[in-house]
Amino acid sequence: MAPNPELSLAEAGGLPRLFVWAGRPRSLWILAALTLISGAAMLPAMITMADHGASLIAFENAGTVARSEEILAEWGAAGKAAAWWQLALDVPFLIGYGLFAAGACAAVARRAARVGKSWLRRAAAVLAWFGPVAAVADLLQNISLALILAGHVAQPWSRIAATSGPTVNGLMAIALIFALAGTAATREQPAEVTRAELD
């Protein structure tokens, strides 16, 4: 059986096979669709939460026991039910964006290997982990919020939830900006037409 060049790249660059799969064009479209669909599905729950008091962002950034209790009291049963729905739908959302970022960086690694930019390939192999790590941080935030919703309002859950958000945003921003810049840096230039060819 002929060796799979994508798997060879994964082994050489330290990329898991899941990341290599995520870096295929079709996989990137699937992950983008998963992220967008699950993100859109969360909107009604987020609107319900805001209509009954604090927004989702306010809940995530409460940071203190007193503020968390205040938000739960404002929401009532309807707001809390909406928050549970949002947390459930956030799971496919974070899987989608985490693997999309990993796949985008894996695609840069593949392109960098093709054009001989080994330093860029190595950087892409490292930054490919930023998306999944961001997704894990988001999941940790969700677990903390779920515990608060279940009545475990004591610290450290509100503090963990408040610190997870900036971590997620920072890691995803770095990964996506790198993926865009790396894609531009590995764009294959058209071959120059020599004078001999014109003659």
Each residue's pLDDT expressed in tens, for the chain with a length of 199 residues: 444 545 455 444 578 999 999 999 999 999 999 999 999 999 999 999 999 999 999 999 999 999 999 999 999 999 999 999 999 999 999 999 999 999 999 999 999 998 888 899 999 999 999 999 999 999 999 999 999 999 898 889 999 999 999 999 999 999 999 999 999 998 865 444 444 444 4
What pLDDT shows up at residue 116? 87
Q: How far is Cα 122 from Cα 128, in angstroms, rounded to an integer?
A: 10
Determine the angle formed by the axes of helices 157-185 and 118-127, rounding to 10 degrees: 160
Q: What is the pLDDT at residue 189?
A: 55
Q: How many CB atoms lie within 10 A of CB 63?
A: 15
pTM: 0.86
